Structure 1
Amino acid sequence: MRVRMAIQLAAENEKMSDFERLTTIYWALSGALHYRVPGAVVELGCNAGLTSVWLAQIIQDLDPARELHLFDSFEGLPAPGELDTYLDKGDCSAARSEVEANFATWKLPQPRIHPGWFDRTLPESCPPQIAFAYLDGDFYDSIMTSLENVYPRLAPGGVILVDDYCDLDANPRAWNGLPGVKKACDTYFGVGSPLLEVVGGTGDLSFAAIRKPLGDE
C-alpha cells in the first residue's frame, strides 16, 4: 500500500476520507483485484475525486486494465428525504473539472465519468459486471438507487463498501450523522442480513462491507 500517498490524500480530504477510510478501501479493493474478481470498479458519489484518485492508484498498481467508473450529479446532494439529516440540498458540490484536475495532478489515467443524478445515469451507464463498488451517496434514496443498480451487477466474490453506514450496537464509535444510509441498506437486504458486515476502526469509521457469495448470480 502507498502509505505516503494515503497520508497526503487524507490530509487534503480529511472531512470525507481520512486515513482509516482509505486504508479500509485499499484492503477491500486490493482483495477483489488480487483474487481476480471480474468486472469494473465504480464509485457512486465521487465529489472532487480525491478518493477516486486512491481507487485509480490501487488499480494501476494491481490490475491496470480495469475500468474505473465515477458517478456524481456535480450539482451537490439532492433534497433530503424524511430519513435524511445533517446535510442539505446542494451540499458536497464539486465540478467535473476538479476530478479531472486531481487525476492530472497525480498523473493517473482519466476515469470514465458519468455526470447526472443516479436514477438517470445508473440504469444505462452502470457497467454490466462489477468487482468493487464504493457507495457514498449520503441519503436514503441515493443509496437505495445505488444498491438496486449495483448489487445485481456485482460479480460473485465482489465487494461493496457503503460509507456512512452506522450500526451503533455493532460499532459504538461510528459516526451516526446520516441514518438514511443504514435504513436503505437494511431495507434492501433485510435487517440483520448476514451480507451486511459492519467495519470498525479506531476512529469514527462508519462502513458496511457487502460481499456477494461465490456461486450467486
Structure 2
Amino acid sequence: MNPHIDLAFFYQIYEKNRAMMGFAELLNLYHLLSRVLLEKTEGEVVELGCYKGFTAILMQKLLDSVASDKRLFVYDSFEGLPEKSDKDLWDNAENIRKCDFLDNKRVGKGWFKASRETLLENCKKLKVKEPIICQGFFDETLPLNLPNKISFAHLDADFYSSTLTALEHVYPRLVDNGILLIDDYCDPKIFSKKNTLPGVKRACDEFFKNTSQKIINLPGLPNQSQAYLVKEAKG
C-alpha cells in the first residue's frame, strides 16, 4: 500500500497553514515522510514545534493511509518562541533584504503562540487522531520524552538554541537512514539574501561541524527555505 492523501485534504491543510509553510515546503514534508514509510524505516515520527498542528495532522493522515503503527509525538511550549540569542541576529543589513533584516529584529519571545486546545480542536475538526503531546520548552521535554528510535523528524524551532537542543537529543535517536527535515534552514550560497532566521543554519553548522553528515537543501518558494538529511549508517 502506497502512502497517499486525498488532494482536497492536502489543499485544505495548505490553505489553513500557508502563512507558516508554503506549498512546496508542505509537499517536501509529504514526500519525505512517504519515503520513510515506503522504505519501512523503523522508529516513531516526531515534530518539534507544531504551532496549530496542521503539519502534524498531515503527517498523521499519511501514517493512517498505510495503517502504520508508528506513533506521532509533537513537542511545543504552547507559549510561543523562547528568548533569542545573538546567534539569531544579523549584525547589519548588507547581506540581507531590508524586509528580512527588519523581520529578523522583530521576531522574538512569544511569537507564534498557539494553545494546546487549538491543536486538539484542529485534530477534531479534520477527523484525525490526536498525537502524543509533550508540552514545554525543548530543554524540559526532550531529555525525558523522546522515543528511543526515530524514523522521521520535522524540526521547526526557528531559533539557534532551540534548534541546537533539538539536534542534540533527536539526532542520536534517529535511526540509520532516518530522515530529519529542517524548516527555515537557509544557505546563503543558494538563497542569497533571503534569511530571516539565521540561527537555524548556525545551529546546524555547529552541531555537524566535525561530522561527515550531509545536509541537502530543498527547493522552495522565494521567501521560504528547507533542508533535510538522511542519517548516515555507522561504519
Residue 137 of structure 2 corresponds to residue 133 of structure 1: no
Question: Shift in Å at residue 62 of structure 1?
Answer: 2.4
Question: Shift in Å at residue 205 of structure 1?
Answer: 3.5
- Which residue is equivalent to 2:97? none
Say which SS state the counterpart of residue 38 (structure 1) adopts. coil
- Which residue is equivalent to 1:25? 29
Letter in 2 for 1:154: L
Question: Shift in Å at residue 193 of structure 1?
Answer: 5.3
The 5 Å alignment of 1:143-154 reads 143-154=163-174
Q: Which segment drifts farther, 29-38 or 200-209?
A: 200-209
Say which SS state the counterpart of residue 74 (structure 1) adopts. coil
Change (3 A) 1:171 1:127: same
Unaligned segments of structure 2, at least 5 residues:
90-103
Say which SS state the counterpart of residue 88 (structure 2) adopts. coil
> Deviation digits for residues 2-50 of structure 1, max 9, x if unmatched?
3222222111111112211110001110101110110000000001101
Match for 1:124 among 124, 133, 144?
144
Residue 48 of structure 2 corresponds to residue 44 of structure 1: yes
If you compute each CA radius of gyration, which structure gives the higher value, 1 or 2?
2
Letter in 2 for 1:210: L
Q: Is the 8 Å Cα contact of residues 47 and 74 (structure 2) preserved in structure 1? A: yes
> Deviation digits for residues 58-115 of structure 1, max 9, x if unmatched?
1111243110000000111111111224211000001001111111111111110000
TM-score normalised by structure 1 residue count: 0.93
What percentage of aligned pairs have identical amino acids? 38
Q: Is the 8 Å Cα contact of residues 213 and 231 (structure 2) preserved in structure 1? A: no
- Which residue is equivalent to 1:176? 195
Between the two proteins, the alignment pairs up a number of residues equal to: 215
Which of structures 1 and 2 has the larger relative contact order (alpha carbons within 8 angstroms, sep 6+)?
Answer: 2
- Which residue is equivalent to 1:57? 61
Match for 1:109 among 120, 129, 145?
129
Residue 14 of structure 2 corresponds to residue 10 of structure 1: yes
Q: Is the 8 Å Cα contact of residues 184 and 226 (structure 2) preserved in structure 1? A: yes
Q: Is the 8 Å Cα contact of residues 30 and 62 (structure 1) preserved in structure 2? A: no
Match for 1:198 among 217, 224, 233?
217
- Which residue is equivalent to 2:234? 216
Find runs of 4+ consecutive structure 1 residues off by over 6 angstroms: none
Unaligned segments of structure 1, at least 5 residues:
none
- Which residue is equivalent to 1:98? 118
Structure 1 distance, partners of 2:128, 2:170, is: 25
